[in-house]
Chain A
Amino acid sequence: MPVSRLLKTLVLFLCLGTVAVAAGRSPAQIDQIQKDISNKVYCTCGCATTLARCPDPHCPVKAEMDKIIRTDLEQGKTEQAVLQDLVDHYGEKVLAAPPPKGFNLTAWILPSVGLLIGLFLAILVVRRWRRPALQAAGPASSATPPVDDNVRSAVEEEMKKFMD
Chain B
Amino acid sequence: MNQVGAVGLIAALAFAFYGMVTGAVAGKLRSPRMLKSAQRAVLGFFAMTTLAVVSLEYLVLTDNFHSAYVAEHSSRALPLLYKFPVLWSGQEGSLLFWTWLLSIYVGVAVLLNRRKNRQLMPYVIAISLGVGTFFSLVTFWVANPFNQLSLATATGTTPYAPPDGNGLNPALQFHSMVAHPPMLYLGYVGFAIPFAFAMSALMTRQLGDNWIRVTRRWTMVPWMLLGTGIVLGGQWAYHVLGWGGYWAWDPVENASLLPWLAGTAFLHSVMIQEKRGMLKVWNMVLIILTFFLSIFGTFLTRSGIISSVHAFAKSDIGPWFSVFLAIIAAFSLTVLFLRLDFLKSDNRLDSIVSRESGFLFNNWILLAAVLAVLWGTIFPIVSKAVENVTVTVGPPFFNKVMIPIGLLLLFLTGAGPLLAWRKTSFQSIKRNFTVPLVFGGVAGIFLFFFVGVHGFYTLMSLSLCAFVAASIVGEFYKGARTRMKTSKEHFFPAVYNLTMRNTRRYGGYIVHFGIVLLFVGVAGQAFRFETQKLMGPGDLLQARNYLFRFEGMTTGQKANYEYETVSLAVTKNGHAWTVMHPQKRFFIASQQPLSHVALRSNLAEDVYVVMAGRDPNTGKAIIHVIINPLVQWVWIGGMVVLLGTILALIPSRVEREMAQIHKNQEEAVEAHHAS
Contacts and interface: CB of A to CB of B under 8 A. Distances in A.
Interface of A: 39-40, 42, 46-50, 52-53, 55-58, 91-98, 102-104, 107-108, 110-111, 114-115, 118-119, 121-122, 125-126, 129-130, 132-133, 136, 149, 152-153, 156-157, 159-161, 163-164
Given A53-B248, A111-B368, A129-B345, A104 B394 contact: no
Contacts of B389: 92, 103
Contact of B400 (A47, A97, A132): A97
A98 B383 contact: yes
Given A122-B360, A159-B422, A98 B397 contact: yes
Given A93-B392, A161-B482, 17 more contacts: A49-B248, A49-B309, A58-B613, A91-B390, A93-B390, A96-B394, A96-B395, A97-B392, A97-B393, A97-B394, A114-B372, A115-B364, A118-B368, A129-B348, A129-B356, A130-B348, A163-B355
B278 A104 contact: no
Interface string B56-99: 00000000000000000000000000000000000000000000
A48 B371 contact: no
A127 to B, nearest CB: 8
A107 B393 contact: yes
From B245, B395, B405, name the one whose CB has the most chain A CB atoms within 10 angstroms: B395
Nearest to B584: A57
A57 B242 CA distance: 11
A149 B426 CA distance: 9
A152 B375 contact: no
B423 interface: yes
Interface string B399-414: 0110001000000000
Interface string B605-616: 000000011001
14 contacts: A39-B396, A48-B307, A48-B311, A53-B243, A58-B613, A91-B390, A93-B391, A93-B392, A97-B393, A98-B393, A107-B375, A107-B397, A108-B397, A156-B425
Contacts of A149: 425, 427
Contacts of A39: 395-396
A19 to B, nearest CB: 26
Contacts of A122: 360-361, 363-364
B421 A55 contact: no
Interface in B354-395: 355-357, 360-361, 363-364, 367-368, 371-372, 375-376, 379, 383, 386-387, 389-395
A57 B349 contact: no
A107 B376 contact: yes
Contacts of A163: 275, 355, 420-422
Contacts of B391: 92-93, 95, 98, 104, 107
From B364, B371, B428, name the one whose CB has the most chain A CB atoms within 10 angstroms: B364
Contacts of B248: 49-50, 53
B372 to A, nearest CB: 4
Nearest to A119: B364
A157 B431 CA distance: 11
B387 A103 contact: yes
Given A111-B375, A126-B357, A42 B350 contact: no
Contacts of A164: 421, 502, 505
A42 B394 contact: yes
Nearest to A102: B387
Interface string B273-309: 0010010000000000000000000000000000111
Contacts of A108: 397, 401
A68 to B, nearest CB: 17
A111 B396 CA distance: 15
B551 interface: no
A53 B249 CA distance: 13
Contacts of A94: 392
Interface residues of B, number: 65
Contact of A95 (B364, B392, B401, B613): B392
Contacts of A98: 379, 383, 391-393, 397
A65 to B, nearest CB: 14
A132 to B, nearest CB: 5
Given A92-B390, A97-B396, A104-B391, A46 B423 contact: no
Contacts of B431: 153
A153 B241 CA distance: 54
B343 interface: no
A97 B278 CA distance: 40
A164 B509 CA distance: 12
B166 interface: no
A97 B241 CA distance: 22
B622 A57 contact: yes
Nearest to B348: A133
A46 B355 CA distance: 48
**Chain A to chain B: the 6 pairs with minimum beta-carbon distance, closest first:** A57-B613, A129-B349, A111-B372, A96-B394, A97-B397, A57-B612
A136 B355 CA distance: 21
A87 B477 CA distance: 57
B619 to A, nearest CB: 13
B427 A40 contact: no
B348 A136 contact: yes
A156 B383 contact: no
Interface in B197-222: none
From A104, A121, A164, name the one whose CB has the most chain B CB atoms within 10 angstroms: A164
A91 B360 CA distance: 43
Given A96-B395, A153-B425, A115 B368 contact: yes
A48 B250 contact: yes
B424 interface: yes
A46 B507 CA distance: 44
Contact of A156 (B275, B400, B420): B420
A132 B348 CA distance: 7
Contacts of B405: 111, 115
Contact of A53 (B245, B308, B593, B613): B245
Nearest to B356: A129
A42 B371 CA distance: 24
B669 interface: no
B603 interface: no
B442 interface: no
B482 to A, nearest CB: 8
Contact of B242 (A55, A58, A95, A114): A55
